[in-house]
Every structure is written in structure tokens, then in C-alpha cells.
Amino acid sequence: MNNASEKSAFRGWWILALSTVAIALTGPGQTIGVSSFIDEITTDLRLTDTTVSTAYLVGTITGSLAMPAIGRWIDRRGVKFTMIIIATLFSAAVVHMGLVQNLTGLIFGFIGIRMLGQGALSLVSQTSIALWFDQRRGLAFGISMTISAGMMATAPILLTALIEAVGWRWAWAIAGSVVFILIVPATAIFMADRPESLGQHPDGRATSNTDSGIKKPQYTVVEALHTSAFWVLTLVMVVSSLLITGLTFHHFALMTSSGLTTSQAAAIFIPQIVGTIGAGFIWASLSDKLSARFLLITCQLSLAAAHISYIWVSPGFTAALYSLLLGVNGGSIRALTSVLYPKWFGTANIGAIRGVATAFGVGASAMGPLVIAVGFNLTASYSQLNALLSIVPVCAMVAAAFIVAPNSRAERISSGPHR
């Protein structure tokens, strides 16, 4: 082992900063960023809202199918090489969005930014944090979730300003260039695959867990898929992804039907952002101290409460409360999945394991807007629809109440040996 490397400053904090910026820069591939361009795209390409929404659905689902393979690739080639490739391709996909001339080009563009931004770049960035932190993983993800959520919240403001200044096509081009310039060179300089490659250990410890006689289980994808913990955690994530994306996509329709003006509806995003940032830090930090069962139940309780609170939404406090609760759910589930997958299944195959889970989460986000639209057509009332939808997170809470950590004796008895 290289003694000079051992004594050098812990690289993990630099990697945490880089990965956090990378997560924030997935904004052009997230719904919150894409929404800034929808009106311009529909007008310039002479497409209907339904056509563009369908293209977005197809792009999101198609992109999600690649996540398991991308996760395995990250595990095999390491986070440094794969982050450089993914960030380069994502920046190219964002630039391509400014060049589309027809529906076919738009669909391919949506596939690219959803697969490479929302999916792959988020996945490799979170994987890098999981590899560099262990006992302090909750704190690390709490910091990352807080900062990246705050940065991503500015995406609509910055992108809208760009569109107004240079037009929607050049705005895509500039956004893609920013992604490349900020991520690729920094990754080449600062990123390292694992602490061991620099003679360091997770959290900056002087010794590793194995040196201390503590050996944590390292699950393969197949072994992880044979645990109930994987499926319950993924189910909770899918519920949040489906419902939050659906409600956010139809946000203005939901708010205006409750008496808010368009400007008031836009302002109500602020409490959601506050909830996302605050809950991300709190739940990630508490994951080092409290049981996953309690944290997952409270996470879904906030979503059920958001659906119920919508019944009383009107301009002012009640609308802000509804938005805040949605943000709490979004921030908490993002933090918990970032922490619990590597905590339970180890980091040897975490990219592949998270890749499978991410495929379900991204697929669910694609279906969310359709669920809300069809539900409204059937009920003709957003209040009645939200009351019915509150049952879904309650069911997830029940499932979470029975979750068992995969390396526990109860889990081994129920599912049999994994090795």
C-alpha cells in the first residue's frame, strides 16, 4: 500500500461535491427542466400537447429499460470511466434536443435525455457516493440531496431565462455545453473508482471494515432480487415516483381547479422545493440512527397526507401545506433509496442492483401523468381522485411495516440461503 496515498487528504469529500453537481446537472433531463421547453416545442414543431406528452412517455419508458445494463456496466468499468462517457453522451443528447425537426427526432431526444440524465448520470453519481462513504453514508447523502435539490430547483428559472434570451433551440445547446464543461474535465481530474484505488478507506477511516474483522455481505443482483427487502423498498420508491410525477405534471390543472391563479400555482412550487431539500437531509441523516421501517412508513405517510390535504386546498396556507408535503415525500424517498440499497446489499454490485430499481422508478414516473389524467376522466373531480389515490401510499406503509433487512436472521429464514 502506498503510504503517501494513505496519508493524503481523504478524496471522498471532493467526489461528493462532484457527484452532487452532476446530480443537479441532470436537470435538463428531468421533468422539472423539460417542462420549461414544452410550450415552445409544441408550437415550433406544430404538435399537440397530447402528442408531445406521449412522446415523453415513450422516451421515458424506453430509456428506463437500459438501466439494469447500465448499472452492470458501471460495476464492471468503474464510476470514473462510466461517468465521463455518460456525461459526454448526455450533453450530446441535450444539444440534440435543440436540433429536432419532427416527432421522430423528438422521441429519440426524449429517450436520450431521460435514459442518460434522469437515469444513468443520477445512477453513476449516487453509486460513487455509496462507494466512498459507509458509516457516514447517511450524512453524505443528506448533504448531497440537500445541495443538489436546491440547485435543481433553479433549473426552470435559468432555462426559462435562457429561452427568453436566445430561444429554445440555443437554450438546449447551451445547457448541453454546460453539462459537458462542468462534469467531464472535473471527473477526469478528481474522480476515483474506489477509496482502495488511492490507498484510502470509506469515510476516510484509517482501516477498512475487513481490517477490523467486520465483513459486510455483498449481494449479487440475483441474490438481491430474492430478498423481500429489495422489493418492498422498490415498491415504496415506485409509489412515490408514480404519484409525485403525475401530480407535478398536472400541477397547474390541480391548482387552478382549486381556485388558484396561474401565478399563484407557480409560487406554490416553493414550499415543495423547501420540503424536498429539508426532508432529503433529515431522512438521510436519520438513516444512520433510526430503523428503515420507521423512516419508510413516515415517508409514505407524508404522501398520503398530501393527497388528503388537497381536498381542502385553496389560495394560501392549505395550498402551501399540500405542496410542502409532496416535497417531503420526494426528498425523503430519494434519500432513503440512496442510502438503503448500498447499506443492505453492499457496494460490490450496487450499480447493477440500483439499475434494476431505477428501471422500475423511471418507468413508474412515465406512467404517473397518465394515471392522473385517466383518474380525473373517471372521477371528474381532482378532490375525489386524490382521496382515492391516498390509499396507494397507505398500502405502501403497510408493506413497509413488515420490511426485514436482507442480512437479518428473519430474512435468511424466509428466503433461504443466497450463496
pLDDT of residue 209: 56
In one-letter notation, the amino acid at residue 416 is: G
Reported for 162-167, long-range contacts at CB under 8 A and 24+ positions apart, including other chains, are 163/36, 163/37, 163/40, 167/40
Distance, in Å, from the CA atom of 72 to the CA atom of 392, rounded to the nearest integer, reads 31
Q: What is the pLDDT of residues 299-354, one digit of tens each?
A: 999 999 999 999 999 999 999 999 999 999 998 998 899 889 988 998 888 888 98
One domain, residues 309 and 366: yes
Radius of gyration of the CA atoms of the chain, in A: 21
One domain, residues 196 and 273: no
Query: Sorting pLDDT into bands at 50, 70 and 90, what band is 37?
Result: confident
pLDDT of residue 3: 45
pLDDT of residue 47: 86
Angle, helix 79-97 to helix 67-77, in steps of 10 degrees:
140
pLDDT of residue 374: 85
Q: Decide if 68 is inside a domain.
A: yes
Give CA separation, 274 vs 76, 270, 303, 325, in Å. 37, 6, 15, 10
**pLDDT at residue 80 tops 80:** yes
pLDDT of residue 224: 92
One domain, residues 347 and 309: yes
One domain, residues 174 and 293: no
Q: What is the DSSP string of 80-119?
A: HHHHHHHHHHHHHHHHHHTT--SHHHHHHHHHHHIIIIII
One domain, residues 245 and 356: yes
pLDDT of residue 82: 96
136 or 388: whose pLDDT is higher?
388
Q: Decide if 216 is inside a domain.
A: no
One domain, residues 185 and 231: no
Q: Decide if 247 is inside a domain.
A: yes
**Is 242 exposed, middle or buried (CB count within 10 Å of its CB: 0-12, 13-18, 19+)?**
buried
**pLDDT at residue 410 tops 80:** no
Q: What region does 416 belong to: left with phi over 0, alpha with psi -120 to 50, or beta? A: left
Give CA separation, 404 vs 109, 183, 414, in Å. 41, 38, 10
Cell of 274: 423547501
Q: What does the pLDDT average to over 188-197?
A: 89
Residue with cell 434570451: 165
In percent, how much of the chain has pLDDT > 90? 48
Q: What does the pLDDT average to over 88-107?
A: 96
One domain, residues 248 and 122: no
Which of 172, 202, 232 marks a domain boundary?
202
One domain, residues 118 and 82: yes
- 394 Cβ neighbours under 8 A, 6+ residues apart: 300, 304
Residue with cell 418507468: 363
Q: Which domain holds residue 318?
A: 221-411
Query: Sorting pLDDT into bands at 50, 70 and 90, what band is 172?
Result: very high
Q: What does the pLDDT average to over 67-92?
A: 94
H or E element at residue 407? none
With vertex at residue 68, the alpha carbon angle to CA 64 and CA 73, rounded to the nearest 5 degrees, is: 120
pLDDT of residue 124: 94
H or E element at residue 216? none
CATH number of the domain within which 367 lies = 1.20.1250.20
252 or 105: whose pLDDT is higher?
105
pLDDT of residue 6: 44
Distance, in Å, from the CA atom of 248 to the CA atom of 374, rounded to the nearest integer, reads 15
Q: What is the pLDDT of residues 257-313, one digit of tens each?
A: 999 887 788 788 889 888 988 898 899 888 878 889 999 999 999 999 999 999 999
Q: Decide if 417 is inside a domain.
A: no
One domain, residues 46 and 81: yes
One domain, residues 189 and 303: no
Q: What does the pLDDT average to over 144-153?
A: 83
Q: What does the pLDDT average to over 98-124?
A: 93
Q: Decide if 319 is inside a domain.
A: yes
Which of 144, 174, 202 marks a domain boundary?
202
One domain, residues 276 and 309: yes
One domain, residues 19 and 135: yes
Q: Are 293 and 400 in contact (CB under 8 A)?
A: yes
Q: Decide if 42 is inside a domain.
A: yes
In percent, how much of the chain has pLDDT > 70? 93
Count, in order, helices (H) and strands (E) of the chain.
23, 0
For the chain, the domain total comes to: 2
Residue with cell 397530447: 50
Which of 202, 232, 265 marks a domain boundary?
202
Q: Decide if 304 is inside a domain.
A: yes
**pLDDT at residue 418 tops 60:** no
Query: Which residue, among 193, 197, 199, 196, has the nearest Cα to 2 in the 3D structure?
Result: 199
**Is 261 exposed, middle or buried (CB count within 10 Å of its CB: 0-12, 13-18, 19+)?**
exposed
Q: Decide if 419 is inside a domain.
A: no
